């Protein structure tokens, strides 16, 4: 067994003991996880690797790599080990629901994670040479999603509110204070870099090239990663900076997860108990932001945000934590205890919650 896997199992044991010591009953689990390591989505105009891109990244742009597949598979194994006394050994559609962004890298990550979580057992083995079984993954085209992948479903109201935010005095002053970074990156990339998204894409490309052991141009050392990463993480805070922006960007997902847990409590005999959502760093960061728990850490590949619905006596509560390759940290909502009473959670987050019918009505008109 590798040292890394030994450490992971040790962390699981320590954390499991902490939870079990509270003598609470686990009722349901929802996990949001970022897809595994992928290829760059974009190369900038002066990128030295543009001509070699098809050889370096034969998968294509924005696609899951073999490293990413292994990361997602290992995450599925982690879920299995962490919740070994809760998750049935055999896959059962009455227990598990899986959602994914319609991006290839998320769909593939969901499939890999499920392979780690649910290797076929006994009568579920359908091919002796293949320790895998098909498990349904539900998705919608990104143009009509707005929940798991929120960026591609157009909302006129959101666009207007975001532009108003960008034109505010605080925003203008912020961008002025960072103008030298934008100008420097623009001059060296050969492209205009004026927005959070521009810097996000630029930083992301350099991060991946660096992880491929490709030599970055010397000029990048003045800004990457120490100046570009803070702008990337700041972007997600701005995306959901106000209640209305957060509601329109992350409220559908909040409503879906909350409704899932409500069904568990109201229909315990028939409701599914484990919800898996394969998504993006932006989705996780914004969701943490509307919870008041975003610490401006970039959610790394195959990191996961976990919600446990638990019961102790007459108290139904949520325990929330975030796991990446380095640590597991508890998530505490403002105005709520670490073990947040479920009704308190709903009350704290109610202003962000929105269903699809409400979203369509608000977003269809400016």
Question: Cβ distance 341 to 312 under 8 Å?
Answer: no
Nearest-angstrom CA–CA distance, 73 and 110: 9
Residue 119 phi, psi (nearest 5): -65, 140
Q: Is 239 tagged catalytic?
A: no
Question: Hey, what long-range contacts does 89-94 have (CB within 8 A, 24 or more apart)?
Answer: 89/121, 90/118, 90/121, 90/122, 90/124, 91/118, 91/120, 91/124, 91/133, 91/135, 93/136, 94/270, 94/272
Beta strand pairing status for 96-100 and 304-312? unpaired
How far is Cα 178 from Cα 172, in angstroms, rounded to an integer?
10
Active-site pick, 35, 188, 203, 280: 35
Inter-residue contact 285 to 294 (CB < 8 Å): yes
Candidates 47, 204, 255, 281; catalytic one:
281
Q: How far is CA 282 from the centre of its chain?
A: 6
Backbone dihedral region for residue 60 (phi beyond 0: left; psi -120 to 50: alpha; all else: beta): left
Q: Specify which residues 64 forms β-bridges with.
A: 38
Please say if 280 is a catalytic residue: no
- 3-class secondary structure, 233: helix
Catalytic residue ranges: 35, 281
């Amino acid at each position: 067994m590798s040292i890394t896997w030994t450490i992971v199992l040790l962390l699981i044991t320590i954390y499991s003991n902490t939870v079990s010591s509270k003598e609470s009953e686990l009722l349901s689990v929802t996990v949001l996880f970022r897809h595994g390591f992928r290829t760059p989505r974009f190369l900038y105009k002066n990128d030295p690797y543009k001509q070699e891109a098809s050889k370096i990244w034969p998968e294509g742009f924005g696609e899951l790599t073999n490293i990413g597949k292994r990361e997602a598979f290992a995450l599925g194994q982690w879920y299995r080990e962490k919740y070994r006394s809760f998750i049935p050994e055999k896959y059962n559609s009455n227990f598990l629901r899986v959602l994914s962004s319609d991006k290839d890298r998320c769909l593939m990550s969901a499939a890999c994670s499920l392979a780690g979580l649910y290797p076929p057992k006994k009568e579920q083995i359908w091919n002796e040479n293949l320790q895998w079984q098909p498990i349904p993954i539900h998705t919608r085209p990104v143009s009509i999603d707005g929940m798991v992948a929120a960026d591609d479903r157009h909302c006129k109201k959101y666009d207007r509110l975001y532009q108003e935010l960008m034109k505010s005095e605080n925003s203008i002053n912020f961008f002025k204070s960072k103008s030298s970074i934008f100008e420097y990156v623009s001059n060296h990339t050969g492209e205009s870099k004026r927005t959070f998204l521009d810097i996000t894409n630029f930083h992301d490309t350099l991060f991946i090239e660096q992880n491929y052991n490709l030599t970055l141009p010397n000029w990048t050392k003045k800004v990457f990663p120490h100046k570009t990463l803070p702008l990337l993480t700041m972007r997600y805070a701005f995306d959901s900076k106000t209640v209305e922006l957060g509601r329109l960007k992350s409220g559908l997902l909040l409503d879906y997860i909350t409704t899932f847990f409500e069904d568990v409590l109201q229909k315990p005999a028939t409701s599914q108990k484990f919800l898996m959502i394969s998504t993006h760093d932006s989705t996780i960061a914004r969701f943490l932001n509307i919870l008041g728990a975003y610490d401006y850490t970039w959610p790394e590949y195959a990191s996961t945000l976990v919600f446990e619905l638990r019961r102790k006596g007459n108290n139904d509560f949520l325990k929330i934590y975030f796991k990446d390759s380095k640590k597991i940290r508890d998530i505490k909502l403002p105005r709520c205890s670490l073990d947040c009473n479920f009704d308190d959670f709903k009350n704290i987050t109610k202003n962000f919650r929105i269903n699809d019918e409400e979203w369509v009505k608000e977003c269809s008109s400016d």
